[in-house]
Amino acid sequence: MAWDAEVAVVGAGAAGLTLAYRLATLPSPPRVLLVEAPEGRLRPPERTWCWWEEPGGEFDGALAARWGRVGVHGADGRPLKREIAPYVYKMLRSRDFERWVAARLGTAPSVRRVEAMVDEVCDDAGGALVRGVRADGHPVAWRTRWAFDSRPAAALPPARTTLLQHFRGWFIRCATPALDPAVAELMDFRTPQPERGLSFGYVLPLSDREALVEYTEFSPAVPADAAYDAALRHYTGAVLRLPPFRVLSAEQGVIPMTDGRFPRHAGAHVFRIGTAGGATRPATGYTFAAVQRQSRAVAAAFAAGRRPVPPAPYPARALAMDAAMLRAVATGRVTGADVFTGLFRHVPAERLLRFLDGRTGLAEDVMVGLRTPVAPMLRTVAELPWLRRRTGIAHTATVTATGRAPLRRER
């Protein structure tokens, strides 16, 4: 059969763009069809991604900011600032990432970019079929050897526990210097805490006057927009005591935090990537680093002539620990603010960040686990095998303004 391309990549967010870029840079690149949504409601607005890695990463030239120190405030008000060497916490705006990738794909003859609203991606005659509609209403279809679908699923998978990480952030500019640009405040628990779940502030300073300031909750439901603005006014005023400032822009989103199993196979020749393929860490919401790992692995499989199955983004043991944490927080057996504050206070920063990335060994995981409330966590672990997985909620967890999740991610 004559294929329209060897690979179809559906969606041009972080996962889709990264995979297209990785494939284009192979010594013998496959022909790639990158299908992105036309301008309009299906194309996501600008987002922000954050993650940690060593200095000198390939995206460093496109970063909006980076920090070598992070801060946490406990609910008791006590501050903690930590050096995170050898890592750096990095912030990347989606517009800058898209430009960075576009500049490289623009000179890659193996990649063809098209626009369509995709309705179906499925197996077809020993390959994959992508069906959609162009912006002018004309139906289109492409047949490829493989397809990688990054579109959010219509519903979350069955799970024992599902929380939503929902947030609203303001990009602000203060009238006078008021911020420490050397420190990223990852979690500030001096916010009113919900009965179940947790809330925190999040401050990424871009200078001594400008920052992204967010209010975040982990909870079962999403409140009205007015509640976020009220929470942000309280946080910037009563907690941070910032001088007068202007809101330059806003971001808002919802990220699923679930122990549901995201299938990476949608057919013999169709795979899911990104959040749809399980790249969002269940207990934190971080996504961007896992997207990079998945895309590198898929590209390496192509280079070696292997079946290009996206690998599991996180080890099974890390997902099991996340399932226990989600359940313990959702049931109120542990106080999320105390758990995360304790981890940052008592676990070496380098080890904690590797743990949050799923890159620690068994002995290190046990040592981290001993820094959580042991009795309620063990009770939760014991009950998990007996809990029934329930059908997932509708996927309202598409990010409506950013793709960065606060304790992360990345997001």
**Kind plus residue range of the DSSP H or E element containing 173:** strand 162-174
What angle separates helix 94-105 from helix 14-24, to the nearest 10 degrees? 20
How, if at all, do strands 5-10 and 32-36 pair? parallel
The continuous run of DSSP H or E covering 214 comes out as strand 210-219
d(CA 211, CA 203): 7
Q: Checking phi first, is residue 58 left (phi over 0); if not, alpha (psi -120 to 50) or beta?
A: alpha
Q: How far apart are the first and last CA of the chain?
A: 40
pLDDT of residue 46: 82
Per-residue confidence (pLDDT) for residue 392, from 0 to 100: 58
* Per-residue pLDDT, 393: 54
Q: What is the pLDDT of residue 44?
A: 73
Q: How far apart are CA 202 and CA 331, in angstroms?
A: 24
pLDDT value at position 349? 93
Nearest CA among 395, 157, 410 for reference residue 280 = 410
The number of CA neighbours under 13 Å toward the Cβ of 277 is 31
Distance CA 37, CA 43 (A): 6
What's the pTM?
Answer: 0.91
214: left (phi over 0), alpha (psi -120 to 50) or beta: beta
Per residue in 329-339, pLDDT (tens digit) is 999 999 999 99
Could you say which residues of the chain have pLDDT below 50? 394-411
Cα–Cα distance between 410 and 285 in angstroms, integer?
Answer: 7
According to the model, what pLDDT value does residue 405 have? 35
Q: In residues, how long is the chain?
A: 411
CA distance 167 to 203: 13
Q: What is the CA angle 144-148-154, rounded to 5?
A: 120
HSE at residue 357, side-chain half, CA atoms within 13 A, is: 20
How is residue 100 written in tokens?
């960075």
Q: What is the pLDDT of residue 403?
A: 35
C-alpha to C-alpha distance for 161 and 168, rounded to whole angstroms: 23
- How many C-beta atoms lie closer than 10 Å to residue 102's C-beta? 13
147-183 in b/e form (b: 16+ CB < 10 A) is bbbbbbbeebbebbbbbbbbbbbbbbebeeebbbbeb
